[in-house]
Each structure stands twice: as C-alpha cells, then as structure tokens.
C-alpha cells in the first residue's frame, strides 16, 4: 500500500482529484452567487404582472429569501453534500426527483452520440492520415469543418429539414418515453444524436489524423515500411497505439461537451434532457433547480476534464515529472 502511494502515477491521480474537487467547490460558490446577481427580484419574476407588494413579501418569507447570503450558501452546500438538493420554488417537489429522469435521458443521448461519433471519427481520421492529401482526405476535412463551423441550432434545423421534412426518413421530434422499448427510443433519438455526431466529429477526426501524420514521419514507421509490412499492419500495430494518448484526451473532452453542451440541441428536438429543464428553470427563476442542474453540469465537466488530464499524463510519462 505504501509502495502504491509512492508511485508517481498514484500521487498524480490523487493530486488531480483534489484539484478537481477544489474546482467544484469554487464553482458551487460562483453558481450560488451569480444567481443572486440576476436582475429583478425572484418573487416579482415568478409572480409576473400578478405581483402585489403583499404577495411579494409573503413569497420571500415563505422561501427564507430574506436571510443573509452566506448563511444560505453554506446551508445549501451542506445539504447538497448529503444529496439533498432542496425543493423546487415553483412546485415544491424535491429537486432530485425532477432531475433523476432528465439526467438519465441526457446520458442516453450522450452515449448514443458517442457510440456513433467515436468509431466514425477514428475511422475517418485514420483513413485521412493514411491517404493524406487525397480527394478523400480533403473532402472529409472540408465536410467535418463545415459542420463544426455552423451554429448548433442551424445544423439541427438543417437535419430536420432534409432528413425529416423533405424525405421523412426520421421523426422530427425526439420526445422520448422512458417506458418505451430500447429500439424505439434509439429510433426517436437518431436525429439529435446524428447532429451531435456531426458537431463533435471534426475535433476528434482531425486530432486522430494529425497525431498519425506526425507519427508516420518517425523513423520506426519508416523502418516498418521498409521491412515490407503491409500498410494496414503499420497503421494498426505500430502507429495507432502511440497516437492513442492525445486521441483519448480529445475524445474525453468531447464526451464532456456531449453531456453538458447540448442545451440547444435538446431545445431544437424537444428532447426531454437536463438542458431543457435548466433553461425552463432559469426562465421561471426556480433557483434551487438552476443551482442543482448547474452543479451537476459542473461536476460532469470537471470529472471528465480530470479524466482527460490523467489519461494524457499516463500515456505520456514524461509529464509525470515536472521540469526543474
């Protein structure tokens, strides 16, 4: 055990984990503070034109919004650590109950998109690197970069226009039902998953391509080729394992995006995920829900980033030792 703790890899992992936790703590404070700074009084935004001075006072008293900021923050953080995220201001339902199904739905979409995107990106990247500067390479480059350059909602609407409205191939709505059979849910989620695939494609396939291209210049690859090994074997056996580090980092970062950056795509496809829930909560000033959703997003993002860091360092042991 002692030996294990002395291992530089484990030390590094523990350090990264602690940095991650620290980041989440800072984020939690920012989340709690920023919402205080939103213009307009919560009570008046909730009650809209029906707000009278009396109803506003009653509202603030009922929710304890008249208490000092720091007191409320630490109480909230303490409860959140125990898994109690509070109750919705609007409907008084526990926030965790509102979140549960939405988190599952968001994860479902992210996983489906990843299952489509990762193999495709690797394949395109490898083929582009192998047939560098060919027509195929250029066409792939232009297409993937065009997709990532379009605003997300525009890409979503284009998918709906061509794959649903004009051709009727897929449903234009993705209002999935957790009770439906898996295949049906996948069918309904295809369009948003495809759109997300196109968005994360460019980054991953370009990274794969450039890592491999850099490796192909190395002497040992040249050696392998001179030995008369077949092209396929050179790529899969000799080049790819050495390129896996940076590729894995990029994949992990894109997974973080898939879980947290899909608010717009959810809205475009009416997909019942966490992002839609959060937008709705912001519009209604349902503060506990906004805070809980932000905290979940932040945790996903920081965790996956930490994972990317760890993968990056483990696959490149030079990074374990700080330069003196």
Partner 1 sequence: MAGMRPAFAEPKRGGTLRLGMGTGSANDSLDPALAIDTFPIVLNFGCLRNCLTEVGPDGQLRPELAESWDISPDAKVWTFRIRSGVEFHDGRTLTPSDVVATLRHHGGESSTSTASSIIAGIEDMTIDGDNVRITLVEGNADFGFLMSFYALGIMPATDDGVDWASGVGTGAYVLQDFQPGVRARLSRNPNYWKPNAAYFDEVELLSIRDTTTRQNAVTTGDVDVVERIDPRTARLLQRANGVTLREIQGLLHYTFSMNAPEAPFSDNNVRMALKYGVNREAMVQTILSGHGAVGNDQPIGPANKFYAADLEQRTYDPDRSKYFLRQAGMDKLTVPLHISDAAFPGAVDAALMYQEQAAESGITIDVVREPSEGYFSNIYRRTPFFGSYWSGRPTEDWIFSQGYASDGALNETQWKNERFDELLGMGRLETDDSLRAEIYRECQEILRDDGATLIPMFANHMFAHRETVVVPETIGSNYNLDGYKGVERWWAA
DSSP bridge pairs for 87: 94
Look up tokens 């717009």; give the residue. 264
> Which of residues 276 and 294 has its CB atom nearest to partner 1 in the complex?
276
> Which of residues 16 and 44 has its CB atom nearest to partner 1 in the complex?
44
* Cβ 278 vs Cβ 102: under 8 Å: no
> Which of residues 84 and 280 has its CB atom nearest to partner 1 in the complex?
280
Q: How many residues bind partner 1 (CB under 8 A)?
A: 43
Angstrom CA distances, 266 to 196, 255, 273, 296, stand at 10, 16, 7, 17
Query: Is residue 277 part of the contact set for partner 1 (CB under 8 A)?
Result: yes
How far is 235 from 240, CA to CA, in rounded Å? 6
Selected binder of partner 1 within 77, 164, 244, 314 (CB under 8 A): 164
> Which of residues 94 and 245 has its CB atom nearest to partner 1 in the complex?
94
Angstrom CA distances, 19 to 24, 302, 307, stand at 9, 10, 12
Surface-to-core class of residue 15, CB atoms within 10 Å of its CB (0-12 exposed, 13-18 middle, 19+ buried): exposed
Query: Is residue 262 part of the contact set for partner 1 (CB under 8 A)?
Result: no
How far is 251 from 208, CA to CA, in rounded Å? 10
State the CB neighbour count (10 A cutoff) for residue 316.
12
Stretch that binds partner 1, among 15-23, 215-223, 229-237, 264-272 (CB under 8 A): 264-272
> Which of residues 61 and 71 has its CB atom nearest to partner 1 in the complex?
61
Query: Is residue 84 part of the contact set for partner 1 (CB under 8 A)?
Result: no
Stretch that binds partner 1, among 126-134, 174-182, 234-242, 315-323 (CB under 8 A): 174-182
Ramachandran region of residue 38, left (φ > 0), alpha (ψ -120 to 50) or beta? beta
For residues 33 to 72, the per-residue mask of contacts with partner 1, x marking binding by CB under 8 A and - elsewhere, is -----xxxx--xx--xxxxx-----x--------------
Stretch that binds partner 1, among 6-14, 207-215, 284-292, 312-320 (CB under 8 A): 284-292
Query: Is residue 300 part of the contact set for partner 1 (CB under 8 A)?
Result: no
Question: How open is the CA angle 94-98-101, to the nearest 5 degrees?
Answer: 140
Considering only residues 177 to 196 of the shown chain, the ones binding partner 1 according to CB under 8 A are 177-179
Query: Is residue 175 part of the contact set for partner 1 (CB under 8 A)?
Result: yes
SS3 66: coil
> Which of residues 31 and 213 has its CB atom nearest to partner 1 in the complex?
31
Selected binder of partner 1 within 88, 189, 195, 208 (CB under 8 A): 88
> Which of residues 239 and 264 has its CB atom nearest to partner 1 in the complex?
264
Alpha-helical runs (H) found in 217-239:
219-226, 231-233
Stretch that binds partner 1, among 5-13, 24-32, 230-238, 268-276 (CB under 8 A): 268-276
Closest listed residue to residue 128, CA positions, set 144, 116, 112: 144
The minimum distance between CB 136 and partner 1, in angstroms, equals 34
Considering only residues 130 to 159 of the shown chain, the ones binding partner 1 according to CB under 8 A are 157
Please count the helices (runs of H) and the strands (runs of E) in the chain: 15, 0
CA atoms 68, 69, 74, 79: torsion sign: positive
Closest listed residue to residue 204, CA positions, set 308, 315, 318: 308
> Where does this chain bind partner 1 (CB under 8 A)?
38-41, 44-45, 48-52, 58, 88, 90-91, 93, 98, 101-102, 157, 160, 164-165, 168, 171-173, 175, 177-179, 267-270, 272, 276-277, 280-281, 284, 286, 289
């Amino acid at each position: 055990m002692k030996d294990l703790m002395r291992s530089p890899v484990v030390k590094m992992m523990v350090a990264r984990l602690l940095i991650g936790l620290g980041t989440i703590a800072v984020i939690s404070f920012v989340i709690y503070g920023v919402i205080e700074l939103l213009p307009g009084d919560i009570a008046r935004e909730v009650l809209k034109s029906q707000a009278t001075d009396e109803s506003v006072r009653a509202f603030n008293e009922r929710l304890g919004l008249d208490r000092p900021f720091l007191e409320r923050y630490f109480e909230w953080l303490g409860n959140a650590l125990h898994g109690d995220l509070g109750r919705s201001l609007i409907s008084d339902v526990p926030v965790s109950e509102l979140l549960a199904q939405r988190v599952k739905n968001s994860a479902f979409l992210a996983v489906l998109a990843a299952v489509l995107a990762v193999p495709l990106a690797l394949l395109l990247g490898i083929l582009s690197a192998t047939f560098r500067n060919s027509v195929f390479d250029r066409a792939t480059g232009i297409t993937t970069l065009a997709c990532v350059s379009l605003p997300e909602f525009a890409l979503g609407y284009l998918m709906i226009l061509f794959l649903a409205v004009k051709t009727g191939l897929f449903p234009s709505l993705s209002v999935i039902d957790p009770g439906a059979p898996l295949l049906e849910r996948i069918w309904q989620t295809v369009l948003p998953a495809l759109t997300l695939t196109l968005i994360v494609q460019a980054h991953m396939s370009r990274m794969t391509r450039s890592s491999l291209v850099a490796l192909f210049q190395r002497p040992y690859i040249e050696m392998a080729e001179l030995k008369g090994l077949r092209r396929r074997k050179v790529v899969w056996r000799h080049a790819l394992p050495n390129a896996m580090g940076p590729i894995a980092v990029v994949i992990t970062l894109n997974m973080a995006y898939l879980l947290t950056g899909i608010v717009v795509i959810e809205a475009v496809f009416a997909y019942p995920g966490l992002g839609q829930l959060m937008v709705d909560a912001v519009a209604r000033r349902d503060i506990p829900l906004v805070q809980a959703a932000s905290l979940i997003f932040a945790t996903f993002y920081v965790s996956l980033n930490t994972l990317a860091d760890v993968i990056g360092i483990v696959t490149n042991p030079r990074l374990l030792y700080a330069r003196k």
